[in-house]
C-alpha cells in the first residue's frame, strides 16, 4: 500500500472489526457538580423524559437539579469503589470489555466500551475506533430487554456520532436478548448458584426490573412484556413453581403511574403475608450499579427487614462472571457473522 500512495498521504491504519459495548453511564465522582452534570445529561434525554421540553426545562433545571444531586451523590458514596475511585458500573463494564477482548483476541477484534451518559462518551470512543482502522463496528447495548429509554437511546447516541464522521464505519446493532436461550441459561444458572450459596431457603425469589411510566407501555414500548417473558423462561429453565419466582419493578421517578407491582411496596407487604425470607436480583441490568447495589441490596433490605422480614439476600448481576461472559461472547460472535 505504501508504494502506491501519493507523497505525504496520511497513514492508513490496518482494517479492523470493532465491538462497542454500550452501557447507561455514571458520574465521574460523587460531588454535587459531578452528579449534577450526569443527571442533567440523563434527564435531558427526550427518550427518557417524554414531557414537553418547554414544561420540563424549568422543572429540571430549577427544581430537580437543585436538590437531587446531593441525594444521589450520597447514594453513590455508599457503593463507590474507593480503591479505583470509580463507580461499580464503570469498573464492571471495563472488566467485561477486557474479558471479551481477550476472548476475541485471536480474531483481531478491537473491543471498547462507552457510556450513553457521562464518560467515556460514545462519540469519543467511536472516533478512536474509526481512527484505529475499525471500518466495521458492532454496537452492543448491554440491556437484555429492549426499551426506547435504554437500547434505543444508546443507539441514537452512536448514530449522532456517525453523522459527524466524514469516513463512516459500517455498523450493526445487536438486538435485545431477553429470550436468548444462552442468556436464559446464564441467568438461570446464576440464580440457582446464588440461592445455593445462601444460608437459608428463600420463600420467594424476586426479579426486580427497572420501571418505566405506564404511558410508555401504552405507546408501544415492548419492555414490560419482555421482562415478564425473561422471568417466565428462567422459571421454566429452573423447573420452579410459578409462585417461586415473581416480577416487580423498581426505581420510580415523579408522580405518574409506573409499571407495577412496585418492588418497594412488594417488599413492605410480603412479611405480612408470611413470606419472611426472600432473595432478589435485577435482570434488566448487565452490571451492578447504583440501582442494584444501593437501591435494592441496601435500601430494599432495610425496607423488608423493617416490615418484619427475617432473611434477605441480593443475587448479583451477571457482571463479568464466567457464565455471563460466555453468553456475551456467544452473542457477539453470532452478530459478527460474516465479518470475521
pLDDT band with cut points at 50, 70 and 90 for residue 296: very high
Instruction: Please give the mean pLDDT across all residues of the chain.
Output: 96
Tell me, yes or no, whether 147 lies in a domain: yes
Binding annotation: 210, 291
Please give the model's pTM, rounded to 2 decimal places. Answer: 0.94
Whether pLDDT at 118 is above 80:
yes
CB 300 within 8 A of CB 314: yes
pLDDT value for 6? 77
Rounded (10°) CA dihedral 317, 319, 323, 325: 150
Residues 79 and 225 in one domain: no
The string of pLDDT tens digits covering residues 238-263 is 999 999 999 999 999 888 999 999 99
Binding site listing for Fe(2+): 210, 291
CB within 8 A of 177, min separation 6: which ones?
144, 183, 327, 331
Q: Residues 183-223: pLDDT tens digits?
A: 999 999 999 999 999 999 999 999 999 999 999 999 999 99
Burial of 107 (0-12, 13-18, 19+ CB in 10 A): exposed
* Together in a domain, 166 and 198: no
Instruction: Please tell me what DSSP assigns to residue 108.
Output: T
Tell me the percentage of the chain whose pLDDT exceeds 70: 99
CB 249 within 8 A of CB 262: yes
Residues 142 and 155 in one domain: yes
Classify residue 44: in a domain, yes or no.
yes
Considering only the C-alpha atoms of the chain, give the largest distance between any 2 of them, rounded to a whole number of Å.
Answer: 80
Q: 131 and 49, same structural domain?
A: yes
Q: Is residue 11 part of a domain?
A: no
Local confidence band at 3 (pLDDT 50, 70, 90 cut-offs): low
Helix (H, G, I), strand (E, B) or coil at 66: helix
One domain for residues 148 and 211: no
pLDDT at 72: 97
Amino acid at each position: 500500500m505504501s508504494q502506491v500512495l501519493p507523497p505525504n498521504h496520511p497513514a492508513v491504519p490496518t482494517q479492523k472489526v470493532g465491538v462497542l459495548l454500550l452501557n447507561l453511564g455514571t458520574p465521574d465522582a460523587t460531588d454535587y457538580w459531578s452528579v449534577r452534570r450526569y443527571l442533567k445529561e440523563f434527564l435531558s434525554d427526550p427518550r427518557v423524559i417524554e414531557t414537553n421540553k418547554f414544561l420540563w426545562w424549568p422543572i429540571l433545571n430549577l427544581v430537580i437539579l437543585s436538590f437531587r444531586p446531593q441525594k444521589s451523590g450520597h447514594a453513590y458514596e455508599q457503593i463507590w469503589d474507593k480503591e479505583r475511585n470509580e463507580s461499580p458500573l464503570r469498573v464492571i463494564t471495563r472488566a467485561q470489555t477486557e474479558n471479551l477482548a481477550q476472548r476475541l483476541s485471536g480474531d483481531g477484534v478491537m473491543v471498547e466500551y462507552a457510556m450513553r451518559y457521562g464518560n467515556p462518551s460514545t462519540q469519543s470512543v467511536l472516533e478512536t475506533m474509526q481512527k484505529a482502522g475499525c471500518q466495521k463496528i458492532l454496537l452492543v447495548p448491554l440491556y437484555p430487554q429492549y426499551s426506547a429509554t435504554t437500547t434505543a437511546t444508546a443507539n441514537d447516541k452512536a448514530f449522532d456520532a456517525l453523522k459527524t464522521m466524514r469516513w463512516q464505519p459500517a455498523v450493526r446493532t445487536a438486538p435485545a436478548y431477553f429470550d436468548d436461550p444462552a442468556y436464559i441459561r446464564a441467568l438461570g444458572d446464576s440464580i440457582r448458584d446464588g440461592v445455593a450459596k445462601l444460608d437459608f431457603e428463600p420463600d420467594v425469589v424476586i426479579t426486580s426490573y427497572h420501571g418505566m411510566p405506564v404511558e410508555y407501555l401504552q405507546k408501544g414500548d415492548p419492555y414490560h412484556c419482555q421482562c415478564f417473558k425473561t422471568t417466565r423462561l428462567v422459571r421454566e429453565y429452573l423447573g420452579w413453581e410459578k409462585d417461586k419466582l415473581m416480577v416487580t419493578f423498581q426505581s420510580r421517578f415523579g408522580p405518574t403511574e409506573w409499571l407495577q407491582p412496585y418492588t418497594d411496596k412488594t417488599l413492605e407487604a410480603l412479611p405480612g403475608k408470611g413470606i419472611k425470607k426472600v432473595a432478589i436480583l435485577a435482570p434488566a441490568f448487565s452490571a451492578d450499579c447504583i440501582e442494584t447495589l444501593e437501591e435494592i441490596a441496601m435500601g430494599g433490605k432495610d425496607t423488608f427487614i423493617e416490615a418484619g422480614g427475617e432473611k434477605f439476600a441480593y443475587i448479583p448481576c451477571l457482571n463479568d462472571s464466567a457464565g455471563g461472559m460466555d453468553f456475551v461472547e456467544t452473542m457477539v460472535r453470532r452478530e459478527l457473522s460474516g465479518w470475521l
